[in-house]
Amino acid sequence: MRKYWMILFCAGLLVSCEPSFLEQKPDKRLLVPGQLSDYQALLDAVPEGMNTSPGMQALATDDFYCLPVAIDGLPPAERGVYLWERDPFQGKSSQDWDLPYKCIFYANVVLSGLESIQADSASQQQYASIQGSALFFRAFAHYNLAAAFCAPYDSSSASSLPGIPLRLTADVNQISDRGTLQATYDQILSDLSKAEALLTGPVGFTNRPSGVAAKALLARIYLSMGEYGKALIYASKALGLHDKLLDYNTLNASARRPFPAMFTGLNPEIIFHASMPGMDLPILTQTGVDSSLYRSYAPDDLRKTCFFVDRGGGVFGFKGSYLGSATLFAGLATDELYLIRAECYARAGQRTAALSDLNALLKQRFKAGTFKELVAGQDSLLNLVLSERRKQLVARGLRWTDLRRLNKDPALAVRLQRLTSGGAISLLPGDNRYTLPIPDPEIALSGISPNPR
Tell me how crowded residue 73 is: count the other CB atoms within 10 A of its CB: 11
Residue spans of the domains in the chain: they are 1-58+78-201+415-453, 206-414
Average pLDDT over residues 67-96: 97
Confidence at 374, pLDDT banded by 50, 70, 90:
very high
**Contact call for residues 56 and 96 (beta carbons, < 8 A):** yes
Fold of the domain spanning 206-414: 1.25.40
DSSP 270: E
Confidence at 16, pLDDT banded by 50, 70, 90:
very low
Q: Which pLDDT tens digit goes with each residue over 275-284?
A: 999 999 999 9
pLDDT of amino acid 13:
43
Would you say residue 203 has pLDDT above 70? yes
Instruction: Tell me the average pLDDT of the chain.
Output: 92
Lowest mean pLDDT among 7-16, 113-122, 201-210: 7-16
pLDDT of amino acid 32:
53
Average pLDDT over residues 33-55: 93
Lowest mean pLDDT among 30-34, 85-89, 274-278: 30-34
Would you say residue 3 has pLDDT above 60? no
Helix (H, G, I), strand (E, B) or coil at 257: coil
Confidence at 2, pLDDT banded by 50, 70, 90:
very low
- Percent of residues in the chain assigned helix, strand, coil, to nearest 5: 50, 10, 45
In angstroms, the CA 262 to CA 51 distance is: 12
> Long-range contacts for 26-35 (Cβ within 8 Å, ≥24 apart)?
30/6, 31/7, 31/109, 31/170, 32/7, 32/109, 32/112, 32/113, 32/116, 33/3, 33/4, 33/7, 33/113, 34/113, 34/117
Higher pLDDT, 398 or 175: 398
How many Cα neighbours within 13 Å face the side chain of 86?
2
Would you say residue 334 has pLDDT above 90? yes
Confidence at 172, pLDDT banded by 50, 70, 90:
confident
Q: Which pLDDT tens digit goes with each residue over 87-143?
A: 999 999 999 999 999 999 999 999 999 999 887 876 999 999 999 999 999 999 999
Would you say residue 5 has pLDDT above 80? no
Beta strands in 230-328 (DSSP E): 270-272, 287-289, 308-310, 316-318
Report residue 181 CA to chain centroid gap.
18
Average pLDDT over residues 142-157: 98
CATH assignment of 1-58+78-201+415-453, among 3.40.50.720, 3.40.50.150, 1.25.40.390, 1.20.1560.10: 1.25.40.390
Helix (H, G, I), strand (E, B) or coil at 192: helix
Would you say residue 250 has pLDDT above 80? yes
Average pLDDT over residues 332-358: 98
In angstroms, the CA 287 to CA 396 distance is: 16
**DSSP labels for 100-148?**
HHHHHHHHHHHHHHHTT----TTTHHHHHHHHHHHHHHHHHHHHHHHHH
Report the candidate in 449, 440, 432 with the shortest Cα–Cα distance to residue 85.
432
Would you say residue 223 has pLDDT above 70? yes
In angstroms, the CA 333 to CA 232 distance is: 16
Would you say residue 378 has pLDDT above 90? yes
In angstroms, the CA 129 to CA 138 distance is: 14
Q: Do domains 1-58+78-201+415-453 and 206-414 have the same CATH topology?
A: yes
pLDDT of amino acid 202:
83
Q: Which helix (H) or strand (E) holds 80?
A: helix 76-82
pLDDT of amino acid 453:
85
**Contact call for residues 287 and 317 (beta carbons, < 8 A):** yes
- Phi, psi values for residue 178, rounded to 5°: -80, -25
Burial class (CB in 10 A: 0-12, 13-18, 19+), 311: middle
pLDDT of amino acid 204:
85
Lowest mean pLDDT among 168-177, 330-339, 413-422: 168-177
CA angle in degrees (0–180, nearest 5) for 392-393-397: 170
Average pLDDT over residues 201-219: 95
Find the Cα–Cα–Cα–Cα dihedral 384, 385, 391, 393, rounded to 10°. Answer: -170
pLDDT of amino acid 206:
96
- From residue 101, how far is each of 97, 224, 367 by CA, in Å? 7, 21, 43
CA angle in degrees (0–180, nearest 5) for 12-47-287: 115
Would you say residue 344 has pLDDT above 50? yes
Average pLDDT over residues 318-326: 97
Tell me how crowded residue 184 is: count the other CB atoms within 10 A of its CB: 24
Average pLDDT over residues 181-193: 98
Would you say residue 20 has pLDDT above 80? no
pLDDT of amino acid 23:
38
In angstroms, the CA 403 to CA 416 distance is: 10
> Long-range contacts for 23-32 (Cβ within 8 Å, ≥24 apart)?
30/6, 31/7, 31/109, 31/170, 32/7, 32/109, 32/112, 32/113, 32/116
pLDDT of amino acid 121:
75
Report the candidate in 391, 373, 383, 385 with the shortest Cα–Cα distance to residue 411.
383
Would you say residue 240 has pLDDT above 70? yes
CB under 8 Å to 98, separation ≥6 — which residues?
A: 15, 17
Share of the chain above pLDDT 90, in %: 88
AA identity, residue 34: G
Beta strands in 286-358 (DSSP E): 287-289, 308-310, 316-318, 332-333
pLDDT of amino acid 366:
98
Would you say residue 33 has pLDDT above 80? no
Report residue 137 CA to chain centroid gap.
12
Average pLDDT over residues 192-210: 95
In angstroms, the CA 58 to CA 82 distance is: 9
Confidence at 176, pLDDT banded by 50, 70, 90:
confident
